[in-house]
Structures are given as structure tokens and as C-alpha cells.
């Protein structure tokens, strides 16, 4: 099965808005910290999905964002997800309570110490290091262990 999704790291004052996924019982991201975003609806572009999902999860309307990369997740148990990765530094509105978990502004340097996916550590570093658009492929073993990664078609150390 293939899925299309967006993920956004909204930045303010050296912090990213993070979502601690705690509210859904059957959630592949249960108890993990991730950015905000979600799955495409019919006929949506990545930008349209991003803007809708950010509004639904946070209450914010994005006013400045950048498409940073495409991340291909191979789960190891039959699911492949193509995730459009964004950063944002402009928004309006008031933060709302999210029905998927708790939203918290987290210092960017603290994020790697939180319970996050191993592959997320790779693309979070890429977001800090480069402004170039990238393609990242992350392969998991079906049991949440990252077994390989490729950046722009070339294997990288994990």
C-alpha cells in the first residue's frame, strides 16, 4: 500500500512546534514526537494538504513556508509512504488543542533527545544543514528499526 502525506516543522524563536502523539490508540506514531501534517485528500497538492493539515492540527494559517524535500518511508511491513517535508516560519492565528496529541514548542537542539523515529533524526539534521531540496529514502525492518537510508539516491551511514 502507498500513502501520500505532508509533514511540517514550524519554527519560532529557535523552536519547532512539535506534536507528541498520545491520543490515538492505533497510531503508527503513538508516543512519538513529530512535526504537524497528515495525509492528502483527493486531488490535493502538497501545498494544499500542508495548509489544511496545519490549520486542522494547530489552528494556525501558514503565511511563509518552504517545500524542503520528499521522504520515502519503507515500513518493512508492506506500507510505503511518500512524505512531502516542509518548514515554515510565518503564520497567523491562535493555537488550538490538537485531537492527536499535545502541541509544544521545543528547542530545536532538544528534539533529538525526545522519542522520535531514527529516520527523523536524519532529515532534521538535513533541515538544519542545507536549504537544497532533497530526496531521502528510509527503510525500516517492520519493527521500527531503521535498516538503511539513501540521500539523493546514494546510501548514507545511519
Q: How confident is the model at residue 1 (pLDDT cuts 50, 70, 90)?
A: low
The partner residues of 155 in beta bridges, in order of sequence, read 150
DSSP state string for 112-132: GGSS--HHHHHHHHHHHH--S
- Looking at residue 131, what is its pLDDT? 80
Q: How confident is the model at residue 130 (pLDDT cuts 50, 70, 90)?
A: confident
Cβ neighbors of 138 (< 8 A, separation 6 or more) are 71, 72, 73, 74, 119, 122, 146, 148, 149
- Looking at residue 120, what is its pLDDT? 94
Indicate whether 23 pLDDT > 80: no
Distance of alpha carbon 48 from alpha carbon 46, whole angstroms = 6
Q: Which of 100, 92, 96 is nearest to 33 (CA)?
A: 100
Q: What percent of the chain has pLDDT over 90?
A: 81
All three cell numbers of 120, joined, read 527523523
Reported as a single tens digit per residue, the pLDDT across 51-88 is 999 999 999 999 999 999 999 999 988 889 999 999 99
Reported as a single tens digit per residue, the pLDDT across 90-125 is 999 999 999 889 999 999 999 999 999 999 999 999
Cβ 55 vs Cβ 7: under 8 Å = no
Q: How confident is the model at residue 41 (pLDDT cuts 50, 70, 90)?
A: very high
Amino acid at each position: 500500500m502507498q500513502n501520500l502525506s505532508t509533514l511540517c516543522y514550524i519554527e519560532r524563536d529557535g523552536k519547532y512546534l512539535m506534536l507528541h502523539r498520545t491520543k490515538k490508540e492505533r497510531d503508527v506514531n503513538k508516543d512519538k514526537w513529530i512535526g504537524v501534517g497528515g495525509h492528502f485528500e483527493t486531488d490535493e497538492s502538497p501545498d494544499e494538504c500542508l495548509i489544511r493539515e496545519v490549520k486542522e492540527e494547530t489552528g494556525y494559517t501558514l503565511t511563509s513556508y518552504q517545500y524542503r524535500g520528499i521522504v520515502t518511508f519503507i515500513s518493512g511491513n508492506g506500507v510505503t509512504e511518500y512524505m512531502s517535508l516542509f518548514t515554515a516560519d510565518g503564520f497567523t492565528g491562535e493555537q488550538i488543542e490538537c485531537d492527536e496529541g499535545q502541541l509544544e514548542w521545543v528547542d530545536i537542539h532538544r528534539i533529538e533527545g525526545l522519542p522520535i523515529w531514527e529516520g527523523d533524526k536524519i532529515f532534521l539534521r538535513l533541515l538544519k544543514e542545507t536549504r537544497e531540496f532533497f530526496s531521502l529514502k528510509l527503510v525500516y525492518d517492520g519493527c521500527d528499526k531503521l535498516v538503511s537510508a539513501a540521500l539523493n539516491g546514494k546510501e548514507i551511514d545511519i
